[in-house]
Structure 1
Amino acid sequence: MRRPLAALIAGLLATPLFLIPAPAAAADIPCPKPKVAAPSRPPRPAVPADDPADLAVGGDALATHGLVVPEGSPKPPAITASTWLVADLDTGEVLGACDPHGYQTPASVQKTLLAATAIDQLDPKQVVTVTRGDLDIEPGSSAVGLIVGGKYPISTLWLGLLLNSGNDAANALARVAGGGGKDGVANTVAAMNALAASLGANQTHAVTPSGLDGKGQFTSAYDLALIGRVCLNNADFRKYALTRTAQMPAQKTASRKVGGFQFQNENKLIYNYPGALGGKTGFTQLARHSYVGGAERGGRRLVVTVLGAEARPLRGWEQGAKLLDWGFSLPKGTSVGNLVTPEEVAAAQATTDAGEAAAPAPGEKAGNTRPGAPRGLSVAAAISVAVVLTAAPLLLLLTQRRRRRLSREMPRSPSRAR
């Protein structure tokens, strides 16, 4: 005997969502990997638990820890990277990815977030005097060779940061950008995290400006693409990142005299990939190899991000090059998702803030909202659901789809580094 509609509605409203069985999730598609022996590597740090809303930023298809590529597309290259993503710099279309929102340790690609935060704030002609604190970096880690008391133009520090991955240059730039005092680096790291949030890079948390490992420091292939998009659209960043060699000026201080020297760009993509736009390499024992880069071909500009890679059989930049080739082979308009824009993030946050301001206090009755019902679900909405749905599992499916739609509208907000 069919239950009366009123009884069905009452039953649906009374059933807690956590008691409704969820539909089986589709299995993740494995990402192509080369057949090489697994290298010895440090244990992976504990990562935050997945947030379903964060996983769906950029589109439902990106909410996977496996491979996502357009239907009918050629198979992407087999690479050692744990996670990667390829996107169109101009349209923001995501062409394909492997575990796009998986938490990873950034290493020196984090320097792109420092650049995105401070490159427009600092006068490239300003001369900076290096302090002892600027050289407070892990022994043996990458440095461009600054000396205490030395005087260097900001432009030279950017070159030292992006060509030679100087952690000393990162500290000096962060200190000056943050006001120049003892709290300068901390202020800049806070600004880096604020910028990441404004971009929709919800899984990025900086602890150091250089990418030297720090507890709780993470990013994702998707977030790195958002940050890389900002950098590669900046003319000054491209100018520095495409510079092949630079000169460190001679220094004479009260205690020592050091001659000038030349240093080179470690991003081999700019030497070997036609149309390269620049980028940044990274490595720590914990993070392994990371890479962000861009290139232009046939009127299209793509950005590629690689995290958690090994140097054999292909180095990080070579893995990036293989992915760029694959991305350029896809027709224009191909997409499995999109890179959110700061404007979309700001608009969604404003909408959310307005909704929260209008929401009733916990337990308070408001209009036709049923006390104890899921927030935002009115009795009228529940009746509509009940008319369409005939089983409790379908109610959960609808709820999950609604949450994913909202997440698209509102993105939520240690070792040697080189």
Structure 2
Amino acid sequence: MPAPMKTGRRSVLVTSATLLSLSVTAPAALAAPTPSTSPTATPPAHMSQVGGARLGQPGTQVNLAGGVPALPKDLTARSWIVSDAESGDILAAHNAHWKLPPASTLKMLFADTVLPRFPKTTAHKVVPADLAGIGAGSSMVGIKENETYTVHDLWLGVFLRSGNDAVHVLSSMNGGVDQTVRDMQAHAEELQALDTHVISPDGYDAKGQVSSAYDLTLFARSGLQKKDFREYCSTVRAKFPGGSAKTGKKGTSAREPFEIQNTNRLLSGDSDVPVYQGIAGVKNGNTTNAGATFTGVAERGGKVLLVTVMNPEKHEHNEVYKETAKLLDWGFRAAGKASPVGELVPPKSAAQPGTSASGGDAHRSGGSGSKPVAGSTAGGGSRGMGTALAVVGGLLVLLAGGAFLVNRRWPLPDLMRRRPRP
């Protein structure tokens, strides 16, 4: 049975939901798409400057003066970013805007786009067309044709098992894969995630499908405004409906549920990776072109950090989680000491009037003028954030500049099913 978790010190982070059991080991992530042309081995000399000029420069960007701890050694990821999830300050980054294959971390954008559109109690009977076009070797949760699933079931399949079958069923409900791709691309542009080009909603390797550590962090930050998103991405294990089977009584059948476990190792733990203290999601991925990718959110001492890691060159078991844990540890030590090297920009509809959607002066300078404001959160999984953010954007015209500077944070309401110290 679910159990309420510990309440944090910060009032905006009140507990609202529960986690299932924490003591299991998740199965390995599944994905083995057909190889295709991979990106270059070195980052471009010039990349996007959305969020700050330094983020467009190749290599590591960090301010180590004033007692800031040194970055962890042995970081091999092609790209990574450490940011404050609430203020949007980027504490350190490495090739933040390098466009790389995202693998299943792209499902964060899929969820942030589609999740608000269907109540979780909605039931859907799967037809063969719903499962058409799933890539060979995809990770699957085990959806069966001619069986009925609730939207709640399907989202558990997306988040826990990274099920491409669940993504395709939800995409079919949303008007089809092509429509969902268009919706995702439009939402990415609204979030100012301009490095992202969507080809497949499930993140399966496709020519031209790319994102960046910066954009994946934007997707996570936006998704975490939604209660249902937070619930699904922080669930360790759940029961999933099985296929129908005859019971022996004439004309009747029963569906025996089976257990699914989250493939996020920092959430569920593994033999060489302990559960990370304060972890609360978000999403992992692994494909031939992308390698291992991961975005995680964690809270300690009233600080909430987002870390994205893309494609470690070191191919040890669970390396993406090990490097993420190192960066989270560094971020919690550096928080309040390290001057930011950039920022996570708000959605277009929440940006302060006069800022540029593509990285204007306020974005390049890392100034506070382009940061989100308090109150710009959505009302849970059943509501999108667009309306609330549009209202906030309109209200900013009426607010004094000083008030905006005081209330520029983007709180994460009732965020955490926090982890006790092991």
Question: Does 2:262 correspond to 1:265?
Answer: yes
SS at match of 1:119: helix
Question: Does 2:191 correspond to 1:199?
Answer: yes
Q: 1:277 aligns with which of 280, 303, 309?
A: 280
Whole-Å separation in 1 of the counterparts to 2:216 and 2:126: 29
What letter is aligned with 2:220?
Answer: G
Give 1:140 deviation, angstroms. 2.3
The root-mean-square deviation of aligned C-alpha atoms, in Å, is 3.3
What letter is aligned with 1:244?
Answer: V
Change (3 A) 1:311 1:160: farther
Question: Does 2:102 correspond to 1:98?
Answer: no
Over the matched positions of the two proteins, sequence identity in percent amounts to 37
SS at match of 2:183: helix
Change (3 A) 1:314 1:146: closer
**Corresponding residue for residue 221 of structure 2:** 229
1:337-416 to 2 correspondences below 5 Å: 337-343=342-348
Contact 2:79–2:96 (8 Å) recurs in 1:
yes
Whole-Å separation in 2 of the counterparts to 1:115 and 1:349: 30
What letter is aligned with 2:38?
Answer: R
**Corresponding residue for residue 7 of structure 2:** none
Whole-Å separation in 2 of the counterparts to 1:352 and 1:138: 34
Where structure 1 has 5 or more consecutive residues not aligned to the other structure, the ranges are: 1-40, 354-399, 411-418
**Corresponding residue for residue 56 of structure 1:** 49
Whole-Å separation in 1 of the counterparts to 2:52 and 2:89: 10
SS at match of 2:286: strand
**Corresponding residue for residue 389 of structure 1:** none
Whole-Å separation in 2 of the counterparts to 1:351 and 1:304: 25
Contact 2:343–2:366 (8 Å) recurs in 1:
no
**Corresponding residue for residue 38 of structure 2:** 44
Contact 1:198–1:345 (8 Å) recurs in 2:
no
**Corresponding residue for residue 321 of structure 2:** 317
1:2-81 to 2 correspondences below 5 Å: 44-45=38-39, 55-72=48-65, 73-77=68-72, 78-81=74-77
**Corresponding residue for residue 38 of structure 1:** none
Contact 2:83–2:91 (8 Å) recurs in 1:
yes
1:230-249 to 2 correspondences below 5 Å: 230-249=222-241
Whole-Å separation in 2 of the counterparts to 1:237 and 1:89: 15
Whole-Å separation in 2 of the counterparts to 1:170 and 1:403: 34
Whole-Å separation in 2 of the counterparts to 1:285 and 1:67: 25
Change (3 A) 1:350 1:100: closer
Q: 1:326 aligns with which of 330, 335, 348?
A: 330
Question: Does 2:158 correspond to 1:161?
Answer: yes
**Corresponding residue for residue 32 of structure 2:** none
**Corresponding residue for residue 215 of structure 1:** 207
**Corresponding residue for residue 131 of structure 1:** 127
**Corresponding residue for residue 82 of structure 1:** 78
Provide TM-score, normalisation by structure 2.
0.68
Q: 2:111 aligns with which of 108, 115, 119?
A: 115
What letter is aligned with 1:339?
Answer: L
What letter is aligned with 1:97?
Answer: A
SS at match of 2:186: helix
Where structure 2 has 5 or more consecutive residues not aligned to the other structure, the ranges are: 1-34, 246-250, 269-274, 371-422
SS at match of 1:71: coil
* Structure 1 consecutive aligned stretches of length 4 or more whose deviation exceeds 4 Å: 49-52, 343-353, 400-410
Provide TM-score, normalisation by structure 1.
0.69
Change (3 A) 1:267 1:95: same
Contact 2:37–2:207 (8 Å) recurs in 1:
no
Whole-Å separation in 1 of the counterparts to 2:316 and 2:361: 41
Change (3 A) 1:80 1:133: farther
Contact 2:345–2:363 (8 Å) recurs in 1:
no
Whole-Å separation in 1 of the counterparts to 2:300 and 2:364: 34
Contact 1:290–1:308 (8 Å) recurs in 2:
yes
Give 1:331 deviation, angstroms. 3.3
Give 1:172 deviation, angstroms. 0.9
Give 1:249 deviation, angstroms. 1.5
Whole-Å separation in 2 of the counterparts to 1:127 and 1:50: 46
**Corresponding residue for residue 364 of structure 1:** none
Bigger shift: residues 135-144 or 147-156: 135-144
Contact 2:239–2:258 (8 Å) recurs in 1:
yes
Change (3 A) 1:275 1:257: same
**Corresponding residue for residue 145 of structure 1:** 142
Whole-Å separation in 2 of the counterparts to 1:203 and 1:214: 15
SS at match of 2:222: helix
1:122-179 deviation line (CA, Å, top 9, x unaligned): 1100011122233231222200000111110101110000000000001111221x23
Whole-Å separation in 2 of the counterparts to 1:406 and 1:108: 30
SS at match of 1:295: strand
Change (3 A) 1:308 1:403: closer
- How many residue pairs were aligned? 318
Bigger shift: residues 256-265 or 64-73: 256-265
Change (3 A) 1:345 1:44: farther
Contact 2:110–2:201 (8 Å) recurs in 1:
yes
Change (3 A) 1:209 1:51: farther
What letter is aligned with 2:50?
Answer: V
Larger radius of gyration: 1
Whole-Å separation in 1 of the counterparts to 2:110 and 2:288: 21
Contact 2:362–2:369 (8 Å) recurs in 1:
no
